[in-house]
Amino acid sequence: MGEPSVPCPHIALSWPPDGSVTLEWIRRLTAILDWSSRNLPPSDLPTLLPSPVLLRILLAASDVLHKEPNCVRIQADEDLSSVVVVGDVHGQLHDVLFLLEDAGFPGEDRLFVFNGDYVDRGAWGLETFVLLLAWKVFLPHRVFLLRGNHESKYCTAVYGFENEVMVKYGDQGKQVYRKCLRCFEGLPLASIIADCIYTAHGGLFRSINITPSKRSKGKKGQKIVTNSNTSSLKLGSLEELSKARRTVLDPPWEGSNLIPGDVLWSDPSLDLGLSPNEERGIGLLWGPDCTEEFLKKNQFKLIIRSHEGPDARVKRHNLTGMDAGYTIDHDVESGKLITLFSAPDYPQFQASKERYNNRGAYIVLQPPDFSTPFFHTFEAIKPRPQVSAYYDYEEVIDSDEELDLKSMNNGSSTEGVASGQTH
């Protein structure tokens, strides 16, 4: 199959005179991003998407995102015919364009929830993120963008996105990157769909016990006891999730604000209970008993999370592989836990010659109760335009190796940051 014929946009995109993003404007943006990715050197992207226009998109989206709660509640109204849930996409622009067309574009009757990891590894993270932000600005109550672990300062410095922005926008690159980081901080952590489905990038999270401090008589101080010991770990509540501080560049791996890191980095396990995620160095591992407890307590029927691609799953021999773009990891009395991965033929750049050749997938939820997942799988759009990687994929730390936690705290945040596997 030859490359699709995408007409040349010719004229650079300008910001709408009245500041209102329209469907036609998004179509023009889409055409520019698609055509430029196939026909222009990356550093020429600003000739069609000038930095002032890009910055306006980022600013408008940031304003919308920062007003949303940590956990967005998505009610199923009478106009809604379907909810589409999407997993990691990792800068694979052409696969995202296919997914949007295949599922049907967002509209008053079709709502989208993205589980994060828009950037890094793939070569078009900026284009992918900007396109989805434009949809968010256009339809703020029909497009919901959650945060992934790669929407962080640390990951984007290691896995390509920061370098990508600098290559594409040169002198304006630092300003563009800072605005992207500001958007990352505003991305909500989780969603609840139709009162019965919980979605998040990594998954579940611990309880943070807050008790009055005996040392602070006469003050409003409180003593925060974090459940860091395996024996004392217990699941957190939605109320605790709502109170977590998400506006950090890098979710902390130690201290009192652990819930964001848990939600973005945790993984399911077949072993019972909650335990620290030693492989990643941040977040938790949770078993089917925890999935049952969380579903039953909140009267949910599904947990849809992402975060693990084929390269992560190939090393977790007791869990199903990610060949089809999704797995059902826990099937318990109250419902199911699903891992959803929407980047086919991932990763785009791979040191080994033997590729995983995984399919991508998205989930469609439909009325009346939206609790039955319909899986749609798809192949990667090929051939991909020829382009160089923005990170050293032959030397970068393997996705399953634990990183040096202290070395990651590079002063970008007062909280500390960690990482291991990176999906």
- HSE-CB for 360 with a 13 A CA cutoff: 28
Tokens representing 96 are: 């995202």
Region of residue 281 (phi > 0: left; psi between -120 and 50: alpha; otherwise: beta): left
Domain parsing of the chain, residue ranges: 35-205+233-406
352 Cβ contact list (under 8 Å, min separation 6): none
List the strands of the sheet with 190-193, edge to edge.
71-74, 190-193, 197-200, 302-305, 335-340, 326-332
**From first to last of its 423 residues, what are the pLDDT tens digits of the chain?**
444 566 777 799 999 999 999 999 999 999 999 999 999 999 999 999 999 999 999 999 999 999 999 999 999 888 899 999 999 999 999 999 999 999 999 999 999 999 999 999 999 999 999 999 999 999 999 999 999 999 999 999 999 999 999 999 999 999 999 999 999 999 999 999 999 999 999 999 999 975 544 443 433 444 444 444 555 899 999 999 999 999 999 999 999 999 999 999 999 999 999 999 999 999 999 999 999 999 999 999 999 999 999 999 998 989 999 999 999 999 999 999 999 999 999 999 998 889 999 999 999 999 998 999 999 999 999 999 999 999 999 988 655 344 455 555 543 432 333 333 466
Query: Catalytic annotation on 150?
Result: yes
Amino acid at 69: P
Catalytic residue among 10, 66, 90, 150: 150
Region of residue 414 (phi > 0: left; psi between -120 and 50: alpha; otherwise: beta): alpha
Amino acid at 377: T
Q: Which of 72, 37, 122 is nearest to 309 (CA)?
A: 122
- Could you give the CA distance from residue 107 to residue 182 in angstroms, rounded to a whole number? 26
Does residue 411 sit in helix, strand or coil? Answer: coil
- Could you give the CA distance from residue 400 to residue 279 in angstroms, rounded to a whole number? 7
Q: Which of 271, 276, 239 is nearest to 261 (CA)?
A: 276
| 35-205+233-406 under CATH 3.60.21.10, yes or no | yes
Amino acid at 310: P
- Could you give the CA distance from residue 166 to residue 277 in angstroms, rounded to a whole number? 33
Partnered with residue 190 across adjacent β-strands are: 71, 200
